[in-house]
Amino acid sequence: MIKMVATDIDGTIVKWDTGFSENVKNCIKKMTARGVKVVLVTGRMHSATIPIAIELRLNTPIVSYQGGLIKDFSGNTLYQQNLPDKKAKEIIKWARKNDIHLNLYLDDKLYVEKDNDFVKRYTDGKFVTYTVCSFDDLVIKNVNKLLAIDYNDASRVTGWVTELQKKYPELYIVKSTPYFCEIGSPDAKKSNGVKFLAERWGIKQDEILTIGDQDNDIELLKAGGVRVAMGNATPELKACADYITETVENDGFVKTMEKFIFCTAEK
């Protein structure tokens, strides 16, 4: 019996650059009414995820920054794993040297050095505000994560991931969309966030369903007893899944819950 559903957001329950379908909202409402704990597990900022949780009427803790931060709905920090200060400073220098747009997240606030089309596209419709300043003017401490972005050349992003994984094997570096290279603490993984909450609630792994669509969700799926990839998922994620559902456009999340939660409960 599934007692916990840990779900990615973008490309899983939210259609890219749009919003939730009414089917997704109704499905989550039905699950919470049955006592299933639905947890948002995302690379997004915590502050940018709160409005989504409110819209879905969820009051469970939010796992943000790929698993680097967990806060309850009252804003209390339950779990936090920041990027080491020294490594953050080194990667900032690397980004400047290679003319790479970098999002810097400090204490759940977003900073950029250039107010360009990349940050405008990133923040559009995502409940995110940002500050433009030189990173030299900031105290580089309590870094939630760094995000290198290139919306024009996905192959360039793949190259960054490969390069940084070789240079910093001690960090967690992953391609979270075709355009995003995420850099965080080695313990800032979605799997760790899910396991932390499951232990807190006394839920076993075989009672957890995990679902996502991108390479950063490989860690998410690892924490589940039932591991589901969206139809629009990357080939790498599909290879880790027990079950592949429909795409986000075809309400794959809803169809998954009908198969593994509602149909099972009605038997």
pLDDT of residue 18: 65
Confidence of residue 17 (pLDDT cuts 50, 70, 90): low
Helix, strand or coil, per DSSP, at residue 174:
strand
Average pLDDT across the chain, whole number: 94
Q: Give the DSSP H/E element, type plus range, for residue 58.
A: none
Confidence of residue 267 (pLDDT cuts 50, 70, 90): very low
Percentage of the chain with pLDDT > 70?
Answer: 97
* Among candidate residues 110, 177, 179, the one with its CA nearest the CA of residue 149: 179
Mean pLDDT of 189-201: 97
Beta bridge partners of 181: 148, 175
Q: Which residues contact 182 (CB under 8 A, 6 or more apart)?
A: 43, 66, 145, 146, 147, 172, 173, 174, 175, 176, 216
Give the lowest-confidence range in 3-17, 97-111, 159-173: 3-17
What residue type is 57 in one-letter code? R
User: Which whole-number Å values give the CA distances from 18 to 4, 7, 13, 239, 248, in the listed order?
Assistant: 26, 18, 11, 27, 11
pLDDT of residue 262: 87
Phi-psi region of 61 (alpha: psi -120 to 50; beta: other; left: phi over 0): beta
Q: Are 69 and 36 in contact (CB under 8 A)?
A: no
What residue type is 127 in one-letter code? F
pLDDT tens for residues 24-62? Answer: 999 999 999 999 999 999 999 999 999 999 999 999 999
pLDDT tens for residues 213-266? Answer: 999 999 999 999 999 999 999 999 999 999 999 999 999 999 999 999 987 544
Q: Are 185 and 205 in contact (CB under 8 A)?
A: no
**All domains of the chain in start order, with CATH:** 4-80+188-266 (3.40.50.1000), 85-184 (3.30.1240.10)
Helices (H), the chain: 22-33, 46-55, 85-97, 117-123, 154-167, 190-201, 218-222, 235-238, 252-257, 263-266
Q: Quick one: tokens of 134?
A: 């030189």
Residue 86: pLDDT above 80?
yes
pLDDT of residue 265: 45
pTM, entire model: 0.92
Q: Are 4 and 39 in contact (CB under 8 A)?
A: yes
